[in-house]
Structure 1
Amino acid sequence: MHNYTAVIEKCNDTGLYVGYVPGFPGAHSQGETLEEINKNLYEVIEMILEDGEPEFESKFVGIQNISVA
């Protein structure tokens, strides 16, 4: 079992959810609902892993809040 962290955003122009796994080449998708983007990302990652474990371009570390006055 592999666990990946996905970043999900909602596009203001299209209203679609857009998601990607940081550093994971090709692991990105979109969907109309959070359930759909989750399913789509699962399928994309599953397809990529059929060819073996990819070489990650970077490692997800986390998020930070930045306060600007």
Structure 2
Amino acid sequence: MNDDKTIQCRDEKGADGFFVASVPALPGCHTQARSLDVLMERTREAIELCIEVQGQKLIDNEFIGIQRVAITV
């Protein structure tokens, strides 16, 4: 039986212009693309592969929010 789930992912734009997605609930689950539309497709595929092929279990994290922290370097 399949369960439908909604999984949080973190999307960023790198200095090279690529969009990069990582999935905190699946450590090591990352993908990249040149557009956000393609990134969404690839993220879904990466999640499915991590669960099905690698047998990874979802870590049950509760999404709280995103913060920006200012520092001086």
TM-score scaled by length of structure 1: 0.74
The letter of the residue matching 1:36 is V
What SS class does the counterpart of residue 48 from structure 1 fall into?
helix
What SS class does the counterpart of residue 8 from structure 1 fall into?
strand
Match of 1:18 among 17, 20, 41: 20
What SS class does the counterpart of residue 40 from structure 2 fall into?
helix
Structure 2 unaligned segments of length 5 or more: list them: none
Moved over 6 A (4+): none
| CA deviations over 1:12-59 (Å, ceiling 9, x no partner) | 1x1100111114123210000001111111001111221555152x72
How many residue pairs match? The answer is 66
Q: Does 1:54 align with 2:57?
A: yes
Report the equivalent of 1:43: 45
Q: Relative CO higher for 1 or 2, CA cutoff 8 Å, sep ≥ 6?
A: 1
CA distance in 2, matches of 1:39, 1:32: 12
Match of 2:12 among 9, 12, 15: 9
What SS class does the counterpart of residue 29 from structure 1 fall into?
strand
Instruction: State, as a whole percentage, how many aligned pairs show the same letter.
Output: 30
